[in-house]
Structure 1
Amino acid sequence: MKINSPKDLPIKRGDRVFVRCDFNVPLDEFGNITDDRRIRMALPTIKYLLDNDCKIVIASHLGRPKGEFNEKFSLKPVAKRLSHLLKQDVIMAKDVVGSDAKEKAANLKEGEVLLLENVRFDSRETKNDEGFAKELSEFGDFYINDAFGVSHRAHASVEAITRFYDSCRKAGGFLLLKEINFFHKLLENPVRPFVAVVGGSKVSGKLQALVNLLPKVDKMVIGGGMAFTFLKAMGYNVGNSLVEDDLIDEALKIMAEAKRLGVKFYLPVDIVIADKFAEDAMVKYVTYQEIPDGWMGLDIGPATVRLFGEVLWDAQTILWNGPMGVYEMDKFSRGTFKISHEIARSHGIKVVGGGDTADAVQRAGDDEEMTFISTGGGASLELLEGKKLPGVAALEIPDEVSCQ
């Protein structure tokens, strides 16, 4: 099976193209976009269609408005930023499939772009409702999914809509195809040594990814809150640190499997601990064997940074998913930012997956040094788990089909 790219579609001047993008960007309290990476990453697909004088209708979600209109989740700031990046006006619809959207779509001229209002304002979107998908499909003669970040969701604008397009009228956008190809190469044929750096708060969210990655990597580095489940499994006191007691047996199995496969497995050797989870907490640096009762680990310490840096120095491929501590608080951000610098300095292929990790890399000022930063947190994690994404599977067509 294969997936068409926009270049494989028999698009001609004046054709209407419906594009599902992932413009779920972070906003500050005043409604200003704080990181427009997801909008910028969708530009190649949009510009390709503009170069072909298409009429473009774009759909996206923003946040979780729970199926009803909420001004806080309007895509108006996105339309403004997209207009600026495209250097042309983007027409904004007042609704999703209502009279305003339909009227503006009907009056669209060649080379114009219409952005529909947040698709999650309609409760049928997250239910993968076929009726809603059919209404959306009427906006375009062709369908392109460039929203990798939501392709692990079977939603109407991602999965059900593809049922209304034959093999030569649907495709993956340039960003979606780039994401899939990167992760495929990473998991099937990485340049070695291949090091996985896995952090974040919980083992449960990444358990299957760890199991799937183990046979493929040469070294595995564990940081963040999830490290304490492994340390407790080894018999150490972790105080009030975040621990998933029900996964201690799984942690032991993962470490045993790493040993059996000859994968070098690294945990923090020193920890930044605090007496409470707050910016004004009292802080101490201790080894992993000395966490006192009542204290919690919130970052990796300087010796761990040095150790992890040495682990990374000969890596030819690095996959990083999950921060090393509570990087949102200044007191506990140093470990994550220093590991970001270490990865950025590496000469190998550096792939960053996950929203928090991408945010940390940007805050550390290292985003330009990374080979690839994925736009999808949950989607990239499911690919690492070896799962098939519903939105991607829906785009697959038989190898023998040629659309040109």
Structure 2
Amino acid sequence: MSKHKTLDDLFKAVGLMGLRVLVRADLNVPMADGRITDATRIERVAGTLTELSNRGAKVIVLSHFGRPKGTPEAQYSLAPVAAALEPYLGRKVAFSTDCIGEIAKRNIDALPAGGIIILENTRFHPGEEHNDPEFAKALAENGNVYVNDAFSCAHRAHASTEAIAHELPSYAGRAMEAELKALDVALGNPTHPVVAIVGGAKVSTKISLLGNLVKKVDALVIGGGMANTFLAAQGKKVGKSICERDLLDTARHILANARSAGCEILLPIDVVVASEFKAGALATTVSVDAVPDDMMILDVGADTLNYIAGRIETAKTIVWNGPLGAFEVPPFDTGTVTAARHVAMMTKIGSLISVAGGGDTVAALNEAGATEDFSYVSAAGGAFLEWMEGVELPGVAALERQAKS
């Protein structure tokens, strides 16, 4: 049995014609000149909104936008987002200048069956981020049922993601359902061997993540600037590279825990170095035992890539977060792009399941042209990372609590 109810459960429970369905979406999308510049989150929630609309529900969308300080700020209004949504949904989208009270009620009452309305930024009210029960009740008065389709906001215990689920029958939307299934396949109940690829600049931002992964995966590839700290912890010289020397003991502790858990750690065996970090910089590949004092490590080398490729080919599940090098600047994108394309190829031929997430990860996979061939790429950012750390996500826990009641 699923840990959470889905739209299919909703459809079995009640007829939707004229039903007021509150949908928590993540419309916190980048915009420029009134246009959405990255529509990934819109495209993912569009399925839920369209499906509910087609069944005759009044679809009432809740979202935050930006970081207003609990009071209305014009720059954070959802009005431009509502207008920009119409081409993605293929239908008119109404807008309400408040998300609670008489204004919201009047606009929702005027909405026809099958209509879609975006309510103004929930963060215009201080009760949102305080997870205030009274604000949640005010939101809940707008609907008959609640659908959470914003996994990217599930790590926040806010009124529109957590407290509201105490007030209404609650269900997971299609995007939330897909995300939870993918994450369960990746780490909840994966097919072994499981290989995690973790990169990024600093160990300090991923201590909890690494600590959780060594207990769950069969092999852990560590790349990016954070790998330098692990190399230094093993007594290797890393030149002018990014290195958190105050975390050498932490790195050694993670390595020891991995050994105890039977998790193989794959660190670079050769690296690409340069004297400066800029596009087209003169670069050379050296062993990790021969990094010059006046150079910095900016990518993994060819031998390391072969080493990683071999481990990828033995895996049944790949979980990826973070680039293997300074992928934003060529030629230091080679490691990340090559490994990403290898995972994509192995996924495409059916050899493994691949799940990836995190802001830099998505950008790197897009650059590699590998995104479409991964089994699932999360656009959730912080929520994806906290899930990988083993942290309970309040928005998901609220849905699971409802499913048990």
TM-score of the pair, normalised by structure 2: 0.89
**Aligned mate of 2:18, from 5, 9, 14:** 14
Q: What is the Cα deviation at residue 20 of structure 1?
A: 0.4
Residue in structure 1 matched with residue 273 of structure 2 by the alignment = 273
Other-structure match for 1:5: 6
User: Which of 368, 373, 379 is the matching residue for 1:369?
Assistant: 373
C-alpha change, 1:221 and 1:131, in structure 2 (3 Å) is: same
How far the C-alpha of 1:255 sits from its partner, in A, is: 1.6
> 1:23 and 2:24 equivalent?
no
Q: State the secondary structure of the residue aligned to 1:124.
A: helix
- Bigger shift: 86-95 or 295-304? 295-304
Partner of 1:149: 152
- Larger mean Cα displacement after TM superposition, 355-364 or 29-38: 29-38
Distance 1:400 1:372, change over 3 A: closer
Which residue matches 1:90?
93
Q: Secondary structure at the match of 1:220?
A: strand
Higher mean C-alpha deviation, range 110-119 or range 297-306: 297-306
Equivalents in 2 of 1:195, 1:119: separation in Å?
39
Is the CA contact (8 Å cut-off) linking 1:68 and 1:122 kept in structure 2? yes
Counterpart CA distance in 1 for 2:284 and 2:100 is 56
Matched, 1:239 2:243: no
> What residue is the counterpart of 2:119 in the other structure?
116
What are the residue-to-residue correspondences of 1:188-207 with 2, within 5 Å? 188-207=188-207
Q: Are 1:45 and 2:48 matched, yes or no?
A: yes
- In the other structure, the counterpart of 1:170 is 170
Residue identity in the other structure for 2:3: K
Q: Which position in structure 1 is the counterpart of 2:400? A: 396
Alignment of 1:334-353 (within 5 A): 334-346=334-346, 347-353=351-357
177-186 vs 82-91, which moves further:
177-186
Other-structure match for 1:379: 383
* In 1, Cα distance between equivalents of 2:404 and 2:24: 26
Give the Cα–Cα distance (whole angstroms) in 1 for the partners of residues 243 and 18 of structure 2: 57
- Cα separation, 2, equivalents of 1:164 and 1:46: 21
SS in 1 for 2:81: helix
Distance 2:158 2:125 in 1: 11
Q: What is residue 136 of structure 1 aligned with on the other side?
A: 139
CA separation in 1, counterparts of 2:294 and 2:72?
Answer: 45
C-alpha deviation, 1:99, in angstroms: 5.6
Cα separation, 2, equivalents of 1:208 and 1:225: 17
Amino acid at match of 1:36: A
Question: How many pairs does the alignment contain?
Answer: 397
Name the aligned partner's letter for residue 95 of structure 2.
M
Where do 1:322-333 residues align within 5 Å? 322-333=322-333
Which deviates more from structure 2 when the two are superposed, residues 1-10 or residues 213-222? 1-10
CA distance in 2, matches of 1:100, 1:283: 61
Superimposed CA distance per residue, residues 251-279 of structure 1 (whole angstroms, 9 cap, x where no aligned partner): 11222232333332111223333444444
CA distance 1:263–1:400, shift in 2 (3 Å): closer
Report the CA distance shift for 1:119/1:290 in structure 2 as closer, same or farther (over 3 A): farther
Q: CA deviation at 1:281?
A: 5.4
Secondary structure at the counterpart of residue 132 of structure 1:
helix
Paired residue for 2:286? 286
2:322–2:358 contact (8 Å) kept in structure 1: yes
1:220 is aligned to 2:224: no
CA RMSD in angstroms comes to 2.4
Distance 1:229 1:248 in 2: 6
**Structure with more of its chain in helix, by fraction:** 2
Q: Does 1:256 align with 2:256?
A: yes
Q: CA deviation at 1:246?
A: 3.1
Give, in whole Å, the separation in 2 of the partners of 1:331 and 1:98. 55
1-structure distance, mates of 2:95, 2:296: 48
Q: Distance in 1 between matches of 2:62 and 2:242?
A: 39
CA contact (8 A) 1:33 1:77 kept: no
Q: In the TM superposition, what is the alpha-carbon distance from 1:247 to its structure 2 partner? A: 2.4
Further displaced range: 327-336 or 221-230: 327-336
Cα drift, residue 62 of structure 1: 2.8
- Return closer, same or farther for 1:177/1:256 CA change in 2, 3 Å cut-off: same
Equivalent-residue separation in structure 2 for 1:388 and 1:300 (angstroms) = 34
Among all aligned residue pairs of Structure 1 and Structure 2, give the percentage whose two residues are the same amino acid. 43
